[in-house]
Amino acid sequence: MVNMSNKRDISTSRNTAKAALMALLLVSYLLSCSSGIHHSQTGSIAVKLIFPSDSTSDTFSAMAIHESLLMERKISAAAGDTTCWECESAFFTISSANYEATTFGPFSYADRSAVVSGIPEGSGFSASASIRNVSGEALFAGSATGINVAADQVAPVSIILSYSKQWVQMNNSASDVGISSNSGDSCFASLALDASGNPVVAWQDSSSGNDEIYIKRWTGSAWDEIGAGSASGGGVSNNNGYSDWPSLALDSSGNPVVAWWDNSSGNAEIYIKRWTGSAWTEIGAGSASGWGISNSSGYSMDPSLALDSSGNPVVAWDDNSSAEGEIYIKRWDGSAWVEIGAGSASGGGISDNVGDSWYPSLALDSSGNPVVAWHDFSSLSWEIYVKRWNGSAWIEIGAGSASGGGISNNSGESGFPSLALDLAGNPVVAWQDNSPGNYEIYVRRWNPTGGVWEEMGDNSASGGGISNNSGESGLPAIAIDSSGNAVVAWDDNSSTNREIYIKRFNPIMGGWNEIGAGSASGVGVSNNSGESEIPSLAIDSFGNPVVAWDDNSSGNVEIYLRRWNGGH
């Protein structure tokens, strides 16, 4: 027998559902009428992307714009092809007075066009395009307005894109686990760029249980090891000691050479290896084992490496084999590690004074002659000293550059110099200095005409220096761009946590400018929640700086990197 109460319940349920459906249809109808849009009638918008060099009918101007973008690494491939070399995807946002802004994507940017469907018919639509890299940063953007959409029709629209100059990541290189991406602490990045502007980064890493030297290269799409295991396990160093403080350089073929200090022998020594294209090898027997290239009784630490035009390495380091710390230096002559002048890596070394001499920074001039800066306590205050090898002797660059007050010559503590040579081979030195009461970044350059170490712009080596802020500014890294302008990066705690700041010297205005708004204020270039420290800096041939640093935003210390994409 059928249970009538259940039947009644079913009938009631059907009536309730029917009533609800009628109410829903009524509300939908009323909403459609009140908005003036019938949602069942939709059309599409076909967007054509016009990259900057396509946006002019003037052939000469188009070629000039394309060449400029190509030179500054914003686009790539053959002339006329403005496909964005670093773009990953395109997103489109459609909106109108009666249509809430809706983003569609990702689309492939490669065809430079896309069809966005399901847009309700109406007038006065706007469309904006955002072309993004793999890290989600917008590199190109543009918009168009006054678009009318008809039902079952395609409305064509062209969006002229403009390039967004900014500090960009290279495949999430400055977020999460960065380029190191491991369980250990990754510290003391050393950065170099190959001829194509692709970064190579070496660092010390504790992932294996003791500090080893790791290295990776940017291939254009990913961060890869250079040889199996170069950034895992024992890395490049691959020994039972502590391997720390790498210094990296690339030869003319883009093959890396790395020096570091290592206590595998029971004493801190300087080790060095070269990538041959197929293996990491010593440069001379024992260059990365036993007593290394330093081969001294003292602690040999803090190497600074450069390669001459033949690819032969020169290494400077600090060494306490003498009564106090001194600066030592050796060159590989093709068959052996030799001193550069008698006693350059023994006794008093090239510093040869009564105070402690630490933390060398090395560069080679066009003839392969080394110039070295360091901080020195001979005057009973830390000052910055500089010497040059002239082919037969180590000499001061101007009277007193390596004695007394040195080139810093002030009442504060001057330390951690970074040295580069300008296009004429004249040294430019940046350092941290607490003369004003807090640490600021100071810079001087050698003027051979006047025979003086001069400031670069007002107060570049006095008062607030080039940093000129309320925080502690330290550990600068300097490089010279292809126009001969100095660029300096440093770490700074003016914000709530330590960030990476950077400025470029403008010789026309005679001042130091940010590279992009906020590059030396607020959250700087690093712009994250962690402590960002110890930058390493290089500049590509188009004037784009690249900066790597240590960062603990992810919870342990990783290596982060950003690149400026705006040229000079």
% of the chain exceeding 90 in pLDDT = 78
Q: End of a domain among 291, 321, 350?
A: 350
Residue 66 lies in a domain: yes
pLDDT band at 58 (very low <50, low <70, confident <90, very high): very low
Residue 471 lies in a domain: no
53 and 158 inside one domain:
yes
183 and 154 inside one domain:
no
Q: What is the CATH number of the domain that holds 78?
A: 2.60.40
CB 183 within 8 A of CB 239: no
Tell me, what's the pLDDT at 521?
97
Beta strands in 51-183 (DSSP E): 89-96, 99-107, 113-120, 122-132, 138-149, 154-160, 162-163, 167-168
CA 372, 373, 379, 382 torsion: positive or negative?
Answer: negative
| DSSP class per residue in 87-114 | --EEEEEEEETTEEEEEEEEE-STTSEE
Closest CA to 238 of 212, 269, 208, 256: 212
CA 492, 494, 498, 499 torsion: positive or negative?
Answer: negative
| For residue 429, pLDDT beyond 80 | yes
Residue 404 lies in a domain: no
Written as six digits, the tokens of 422 are 């300008």
Q: Dump pLDDT digits (tens) for 499-518.
A: 999 999 999 888 999 999 99
What number is the average pLDDT over the span 178-191? 97
Residue located via tokens 């126009």: 483
In the chain the first and final C-alpha atoms are separated, in Å, by 90
| For residue 423, pLDDT beyond 50 | yes
213 and 305 inside one domain:
yes
199 and 344 inside one domain:
yes
d(CA 260, CA 58): 54
Residue 542 lies in a domain: no
Tell me, what's the pLDDT at 40?
56
pLDDT band at 566 (very low <50, low <70, confident <90, very high): confident
| For residue 6, pLDDT beyond 80 | no
What number is the average pLDDT over the span 392-399? 98
Tell me, what's the pLDDT at 397?
98
Q: Looking at per-residue confidence, does 416 or 541 come out higher? A: 416
Residue ranges making up the domain that contains 113: 42-163
What number is the average pLDDT over the span 151-175? 91
What torsion, rounded to 10 degrees, do the Cα atoms 254, 420, 325, 451 define? 150
Q: How many residues does the chain have?
A: 568
142 and 288 inside one domain:
no
179 and 307 inside one domain:
yes
Residue 113 lies in a domain: yes
| For residue 472, pLDDT beyond 70 | yes
| For residue 65, pLDDT beyond 70 | no
207 and 306 inside one domain:
yes
| For residue 22, pLDDT beyond 70 | no
102 and 180 inside one domain:
no
Report the number of distinct structural domains present in the chain.
Answer: 2
Tell me, what's the pLDDT at 64?
37
Mean pLDDT of the chain: 88
Q: Which residues pair with 129 in a beta bridge?
A: 92, 142
Tell me, what's the pLDDT at 37?
43
Q: Dump pLDDT digits (tens) for 307-353.
A: 999 999 999 999 999 989 999 999 999 999 999 999 999 999 999 99
Residue 150 lies in a domain: yes
Tell me, what's the pLDDT at 116?
92
Tell me, what's the pLDDT at 2?
32
What number is the average pLDDT over the span 73-82? 38
**3-class secondary structure per residue, 398-459:** CCCCCCCCCCCCCCCCEEEEEEEECCCCCEEEEEEECCCCCCEEEEEEEECCCCEEEECCCC
Kind of pairing, strands 440-447 and 427-433? Answer: antiparallel
Tell me, what's the pLDDT at 85?
62
149 and 204 inside one domain:
no
| For residue 137, pLDDT beyond 90 | no
pLDDT band at 139 (very low <50, low <70, confident <90, very high): confident
Tell me, what's the pLDDT at 102?
95
Tell me, what's the pLDDT at 23?
36
Q: Dump pLDDT digits (tens) for 203-258.
A: 999 999 999 999 999 998 899 999 999 999 999 999 999 999 999 999 999 999 99
Tell me, what's the pLDDT at 399?
97
154 and 178 inside one domain:
no
What number is the average pLDDT over the span 111-135? 90
Tell me, what's the pLDDT at 27?
32
d(CA 41, CA 179): 49
pTM: 0.85
Q: Dump pLDDT digits (tens) for 274-299.
A: 999 999 999 999 999 999 999 999 99
Residue 308 lies in a domain: yes
Tell me, what's the pLDDT at 24?
34
Q: Dump pLDDT digits (tens) for 32-41.
A: 333 344 445 9
186 and 300 inside one domain:
yes
Residue 89 lies in a domain: yes
| For residue 63, pLDDT beyond 60 | no
Tell me, what's the pLDDT at 53?
57
21 contact partners, CB below 8 Å, separation of at least 6: none
* Segment among 100-109, 361-370, 477-486 with least mean pLDDT: 100-109
Tell me, what's the pLDDT at 26?
33
72 contact partners, CB below 8 Å, separation of at least 6: 542, 543, 544, 565, 566, 567
Q: Looking at per-residue confidence, does 186 or 73 come out higher? A: 186
% of the chain exceeding 70 in pLDDT = 86
pLDDT band at 93 (very low <50, low <70, confident <90, very high): very high
Closest CA to 49 of 129, 155, 139: 129
Q: End of a domain among 323, 350, 377?
A: 350
Q: Dump pLDDT digits (tens) for 246-276.
A: 999 999 999 999 999 999 999 999 999 999 9
81 and 94 inside one domain:
yes
Written as six digits, the tokens of 466 are 């080039």
What backbone phi and psi angles, to 5 degrees, belong to 447?
-105, 100
Q: End of a domain among 147, 163, 179?
A: 163
